[in-house]
Structure 1
Amino acid sequence: MEMHQVRYFLAVARRLNFTRAAEDCHVSQPSLTRAIKNLEIELGGELFRRERSNSHLTELGQVMLPLLKNSYESALAAKSQAEKMKSGTMASLRIALTQSVDFDIVSDSLQEVGRSFGEINISCQRLSRDGVLKGLRNGDVDICIAGSLGESWERLDNWELFVESHAVAMSVEHPLAHKTELELADLAGERLITRPYCSMWADCASLLAEAGIDIDNCHEAGSDRDVIRLLEAGLGIAVVPTSTRMGDKSCKVPLSQVFKKSVHLYAVAGRQRSKALNGLINLLRSADWERFQGLGVPT
């Protein structure tokens, strides 16, 4: 089935006249009639009942009309999008973040890309560390933002964006919330909410255990959103990166111990990138990350 056959069919269905349909399509009537006949052969029956100057859709034609109309409109939409992507007026951005990375890290840069490049389609996924590597290798994502992936791959572009410290997060009504700084020893006896999805959790757990913190009798969260909800319910405290956005009923208190986490931008070297994607990468690499390196982040 050729798209010009579908176009001719839709023109005849609209005009119910082969001569006028041929004029609308800027082809000769014999060419249009031949194309319709070939379409009827492929579909296995007549699409029109011809009656002198007027024609009418057969039962098969009536059934085919909405289906072929949708197919033709979808093809036109696909062509339009392809032309926009080729001209750079539309771009697709497929971004992956690990569960421990706050979306605030990319939101400002995405907003700037939207202003600069017009129409963009954004796909944002939350993946595990292994999922990030798989997504990059398979071409399912264009870039990802995560902690250290701990793996060397010759095709992996790796830019460190910033290094942040950690803080203790809790409900605003927690007795420790009024402190200006906390030490690990202050967490003794507190019910901990762990973040096993974070790439730094193994190091964090080791430090907590050395300080005598019970890391076995604890709550386990599956995302930072879950951590915040547990904190707001007064069900414990958590050690989180300073970039983690708190809710209205939760807060962060700086942790005196030096415990750092590096946040990286990853892409695949040598893979073709759109102007919008290159723009996003450049914006992220040149951004001022000072607000994420201390506790001066929005809460």
Structure 2
Amino acid sequence: MGEITVVGSINIDIVAFTDYYPDRGETIFGKEMATLSGGKGANQAVASARLGKKVHMIGAVGCDVHGDTVIDSMNNNGVNTSHIKQVEESSTGCAIITVDHTAENTMLVVKGANDDLTRNDIQQAFATINDSKVLLVQMEVPEEAVIESMIEARKKGMFVVLDPAPADGITERALQYADIIVPNKQETKQLTGIDVTDLDSAHQAAEYFNRIGIKCSIIKMGSKGSLVYEQGKTEYIEAIQVKAIDTVGAGDSFAGALGTALADGSDLVTAAKFANIVAALKVTKLGAQAGLPTNVQVNEFCEEKGFSHYLFNPLKT
């Protein structure tokens, strides 16, 4: 089965848990704090690796203790980190995250070394990557690196999955190279101007993407589920009801699981249903990477919820 390549950010996450967010200028006491490995790219790489895929990670970190920590975390999860560069001039990217009692989060990201990933770095890495079926990419690294990775992936016949996050980093130029985009409600509004509140508005957004050349999309609506749009056909995927503990990394677990299923030959709707299951399981666990499920945990969750008909052979251990 096919391998996966991920191009994206690598961060250290400083996570504070609180009952409610402070108002501007207000000081409150939180409940606890954790320092965890994160970054959208690294999260997606670990998500795929934990689901049994061979994963190449391309990114940049600083020559500091946080850089060593995040690389060790990926190595321990089976990710190939040989294409991660460490730079002297910048510190490892950092996300300062606050999680409230509803498990929703706010996030302030200092990109640091992520901004040092270059077009040349991408070319050098792809020169030795020949067996990946899927590229996962996001918008927390420079546009030139994002677009170059998509061009190189297309040359090698990879299916390009763009998670257009964060919304502030989205560029229209990057969209033209994607085979599918998987935006959430905020990112969809940023790209289309459409406020997704229901299936009708989600369909309008998917049609907008189709008109500008993106034939496949998955509009993620959080607790309202997802809409899969493929070549003019749509299918609604209902949200799975779970008790959420930490939503940090939920979208990354979705992208990693989607890429895993697609690399193993699943059709888009089946892959999206599987990704929906993995994301639901992720939010019941703490940590953007630490909470990502393994094959065994996914299978157990599927059996518990009665989703066994969504399982496919590569996930069985």
Q: Same fold (TM over 0.5)?
A: no
> Which bin holds the TM-score, normalised by the shorter protein?
under 0.3
With structure 2 as the length reference, what TM-score do the two structures score? 0.23
Highest RCO, 1 vs 2 (Cα 8 Å, sep ≥ 6): 1
